[in-house]
């Protein structure tokens, strides 16, 4: 069995670096590093690892901050698609992330998309 400590520590460090970028208002750099962290986490630690959930949570926060930037739309959609595929209805954190994405749609006046996500969230309870 491969030691997961080394990849986990490396990916946790990458997540912290992405957090620094976001706090410096370097949203694109932060999103890129979060995406890379998520891709490597999926490949090395699995789709259900705790780190994947944390990265998704931070990415949703960044998308909410940057929802007025058109270049973030593609990355936002990729993140939302991934979240919907791995949504764990028994995990409140997953559901709160889904609500954040609904909030992004609401802020963008995309009301039907927001309603759809809020309804998906309600069906989970």
How many domains is the chain built from? 1
| pLDDT at residue 36, as a whole number | 95
CATH assignment of the domain containing 53: 1.25.40.10
Q: Which pTM does this prediction carry?
A: 0.61
Are 41 and 30 in contact, with CB atoms under 8 Å apart?
Answer: no
| pLDDT at residue 1, as a whole number | 43
Distances (CA, A) of 43 to 11, 39, 47, 89, 95: 11, 6, 8, 23, 24
Give residue-wise pLDDT tens across range 35-56: 999 999 989 998 888 898 889 8
| pLDDT at residue 15, as a whole number | 95
Instruction: Choose between 23 and 95: higher pLDDT.
Output: 23
Domain of 79 in residue numbering reads as 5-123
């Amino acid at each position: 069995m491969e030691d997961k400590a080394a990849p986990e520590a490396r990916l946790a460090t990458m997540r912290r670096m992405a957090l620094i970028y976001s706090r410096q208002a370097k949203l694109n750099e932060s999103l890129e590093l979060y995406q890379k962290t998520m891709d490597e986490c999926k490949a090395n630690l699995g789709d259900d690892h705790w780190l994947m959930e944390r990265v998704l949570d931070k990415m949703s926060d960044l998308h909410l901050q940057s929802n007025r930037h058109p270049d973030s739309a593609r990355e936002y959609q990729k993140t939302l698609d991934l979240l919907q595929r791995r949504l764990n209805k028994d995990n409140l954190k997953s559901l709160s992330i889904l609500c954040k994405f609904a909030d992004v749609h609401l802020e963008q006046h995309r009301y039907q998309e927001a309603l759809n996500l809020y309804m998906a969230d309600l069906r989970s309870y």
